[in-house]
Structure 1
Amino acid sequence: MPLLHSRVTKVTYSNLVDKVHARQASWKSKILSATRRATLIQAITSAIAVYAMQTSKLPMSICEDLDKVNRNFFWGGSEKKHKVHFVSVGSCV
């Protein structure tokens, strides 16, 4: 976690979103069931955000980005290909 000596901005925690996205990129979401995808999101990627929130409050834009990455992984979408998200999955707050 970074030592904060100035104002917290979106750039301060952008590596957190990149870390979650990189972790999910190594998983094959198409061959996993919905239950397994939900378990991975709750156990792994949410733990990364919770660890960061132990020391400071994350900006809402980072929380929204993390939720977006998790929703895209769960429903099988990507940045280029959008799918309908029927139910919200997890939350940063």
Structure 2
Amino acid sequence: MPVKYLIIIDDIWDEKFWGFIKYAFTSNQLGSRLITTTRKISVSQACCSSSDDMSYKMKHLSDADSKRLFYKRIFLHENKLSP
């Protein structure tokens, strides 16, 4: 019996790795989706298996947004270091 799925694989660094794991996912017509993220264009292209696949290139965070995210993740607030 076919199964519908949504799977997200985050931060793939190597085309070879994608080559190993892509066979674990069956293609079906039930609206299943496989979402991958990567920092490398070549990996993004390798993950596209058909002309219907899409690749979206995000902009880098600004220095201010990067700093705010870092502080929020590490110190649980956005604007300064903990004492």
TM-score (norm 2): 0.37
Greater relative contact order structure (CA < 8 Å, 6+ sep): 1
| Structure with the higher strand share, 1 or 2 | 2
